[in-house]
Amino acid sequence: MKVLVNDQLLERDQAFVDIEDRGYQFGDGVYEVVRLYNRRFFTFNEHIDRLYESAAKIELAIPFSKDTLRELLTTLVKENDIHTGNVYLQVSRGIQMPRNHIIPDDFPLEGVLTASTTEVPRNLEKFVSGGSAITAEDVRWLRCDIKSISLLGNIMAKNKAHKAGALEAILHRGDIVTECSASNVMIIKDGELWTHQSDNLILNGITRQVILDVARKNGITVHEADFTLADLHGADEVFISSTTLEITPITAIDGTVIGNGLRGPISARLHELYEQEVIRQCGEFEAVK
């Protein structure tokens, strides 16, 4: 198993980061997770663009051009023979001695890129059966649009869900539903789709963007607007979306069943449309040995 450290492909057990890397000490960095189907990247450019946007928002210079980064990641997944899986990549601000909150003007460093891969099959059963969720106050910072490696708020919420036997924690600020600990959330009411607008309170998921695009193209009315906890609990259908979860139904929230407790027809239709987009970019799903 190889990993990437800057432009070096290394054996996993030969890859180390410095203890004074700002990513390690401050969570000062940004990341992405990109999915592969049939050995091909899905929405590759969108993920790379978002990485550079996140980096720009925290004034972090990525030490490679987008083209070079794409080439490095392509080499990595080939080397590891990833068929249906994920690439995790992050860029930290780099090594600074001694530790100091202030980023010096003449910061001598460049960001440090690391990347690794995992084979992760599609969980077809989960895409149909879905899972339950809890709700939790969104106590994260106010720049959730940045895909920051500082994820304490997300981790605490996810773990709370896990302890409750739930798949996800749906977060809310006061009465307004924002997103989940590691995914976006959408509801269907009277045949129309609602999801929080893309602003500083959510990560604008790439999966979210694909779903909204195919929904609009197929005549489903989309509201990118505030909706409340009462709207969530009273929805006809609820689902979450992310690179790995694709569209996963939420069939109960805080112990209350949503709709009839099964994946709804619009969720199913949207997943079909989503799959068509995957097939368009990556080809028909091949059987994974």
- The site for ligand PMP (CB under 6 A) is made up of 33, 154, 179, 182-184, 203, 205-208, 241-243
What does each C-alpha distance from 279 to 5, 38, 86, 118 come to in angstroms? 31, 10, 17, 21
Closest approach of ligand PMP to the CB of residue 208, in Å? 6
The residue whose Cβ lies closest to ligand PMP is: 205
Q: Is the dihedral of CA 42, 48, 54, 57 positive or negative?
A: negative
> How many angstroms from the chain centroid is the CA of residue 247?
12
- 265-282 and 206-217 are packed helices; what angle lies between their axes, rounded to 10 degrees? 110
Residue type (1 letter), 233: H
Closest approach of ligand PMP to the CB of residue 113, in Å? 18
Nearer to ligand PMP, 36 or 203 (CB): 203
Question: How big is the chain, counted in residues?
Answer: 289
Structural tokens at position 29: 């960095």
Nearer to ligand PMP, 90 or 207 (CB): 207
| DSSP-assigned states of every residue in 32-53 | EEEEEETTEESSHHHHHHHHHH
Nearer to ligand PMP, 40 or 103 (CB): 40
Nearer to ligand PMP, 80 or 242 (CB): 242
Nearer to ligand PMP, 208 or 263 (CB): 208
Active-site residue, 147 included: yes
Nearer to ligand PMP, 109 or 149 (CB): 149
Closest approach of ligand PMP to the CB of residue 115, in Å? 15
Angle, CA 133 vertex, CA 132 and CA 134 arms, to 5°? 140
Indicate which residue of 57, 66, 78, 147 is catalytic.
147
- Give CA–CA dist 27/274, Å, rounded: 33
Closest approach of ligand PMP to the CB of residue 101, in Å? 25
Closest approach of ligand PMP to the CB of residue 66, in Å? 17
What does each C-alpha distance from 57 to 52, 87, 115, 177 come to in angstroms? 9, 22, 21, 24
- Residue 246 burial (C-beta neighbours within 10 Å; 0-12, 13-18, 19+): buried
| DSSP-assigned states of every residue in 184-241 | EEEEEETTEEEE--SSTTS---HHHHHHHHHHHHTT--EEES--BHHHHHT-SEEEEE
| Residues recognised as catalytic | 147
